[in-house]
Amino acid sequence: MVHAWARVPTLPQIIWSESLILEKRARFKSAWLPYALVAPQIIVTLLFFVWPAVQALYQSMLLQDAFGGYSEFVWFDNFRTLFADSNYLASFKTTAVFSILVAVLGLSLSLMLAAFADRVVKGSAIYKTFLIWPYAVSPVVVGVLWMFMLSPTLGIVSNWLHYIGIDWNHVLNGRHAMILIVIAAVWKQVSYNFLFFLAGLQAIPKSLIEAAAIDGAGPVKRFATIIFPLLSPTTFFLLVVNIVYAFFDTFAIIEATTQGGPGKDTEILVYKVFIDGFKGGDLGGAAAQSVVLMTIVIVLTVAQFKYVEKKVQYA
């Protein structure tokens, strides 16, 4: 006679069976099929990422005219010329200020909106839809929209600012121009951040928050000790994405609003590549700038993964 408890698996048996499940992998009958499945992604990466990067590095060491009729290999002279240019060094500061403002303001505003949306009961679908819509708008349209809203003569927002004593004019005032492109860039990216923060908030077990509330923790303490630490993986991911967005994807906004002006007060690195390369005809210098920009983004991304990720709490 076999007792019922004898059929209950022991702890080593459970661990062994779970290890078999975790180690289960897809097996292909042919040796070439796995390579064929990843081949499209490898081809796209080589054609649109690796090859352009290699070409930019090569062209950054050339001195050539705008029409490609003359080229001379000058090694690192283009880089020396860049770092001796005060305007180029000033664009570093402009890019740093712009990127920090876009990342910090965009993440903070998105997290606040996601927290409010997570608490809405009635009409939550409509509320969330309105918050997602801006991401579908083209960056050029975003720039033109905010340029008209903050136009010194016709803008409705600039008229409101005039009533409270603020003489807004982003055409002449560099600080106003920086505020304009930051507002447009944050408004464009807030929907993307909102989606991830909302998904992260909805994935947090409500029992943890309710238990903390029963223990007497207020809303601020619950957010600081429970919600935000559990959102740290999402926050870290969005921090990397927003830094890259501020460096590269805001070109169209600046082109549609300030064109780098007044003067060079809003000329960030990616826009200076366009100005010097396409308008100035300095192809070698523009390629050198793109290499420097690519290096900065890689270094920032690696630094974030090495140092910031240590504070991320993965569940």
Whether the pLDDT of residue 315 is over 80: the answer is no
- Average pLDDT of the residues in 77-83: 90
- Which one, of 297, 291, 294, 274, lies nearest residue 76 by Cα? 291
* pLDDT tens for each residue of 42-73: 999 999 989 988 998 998 888 877 776 777 88
Looking at the chain, the whole-number percentage of residues with pLDDT higher than 70 is 87
* pLDDT tens for each residue of 226-263: 888 889 888 988 998 999 899 989 999 999 999 998 98
- CA dist 139 and 179 (Å) reads 16
Q: Which of 26-30, 31-35, 129-133, 145-149 has the highest mean pLDDT?
A: 145-149
Q: Which residues contact 217 (CB under 8 A, 6 or more apart)?
A: 225, 226
| Contact by Cβ (8 Å): 236, 301 | no
State pTM to two decimals. Answer: 0.82
Query: Which residue has better confidence, 28 or 173?
Result: 173
pLDDT tier for residue 117 given thresholds of 50, 70 and 90? confident
Number of H helices, E strands in the chain: 16, 2
How confident is the model at residue 310, as a pLDDT? 63
Per residue in 245-261, is it b (16+ CB within 10 Å) or e — as a string?
bbbebbbbbbbbbbebb
| Contact by Cβ (8 Å): 79, 287 | no
* Least confident piece of the model among 129-133, 158-162, 248-252: 129-133
pLDDT tier for residue 75 given thresholds of 50, 70 and 90? confident
Whether the pLDDT of residue 2 is over 80: the answer is no
CB-based burial label for 78 (10 Å; 0-12, 13-18, 19+): buried
**φ and ψ at 275, to 5 degrees?**
-65, -50
Does the domain formed by 85-311 have CATH 1.10.3720.10?
Answer: yes
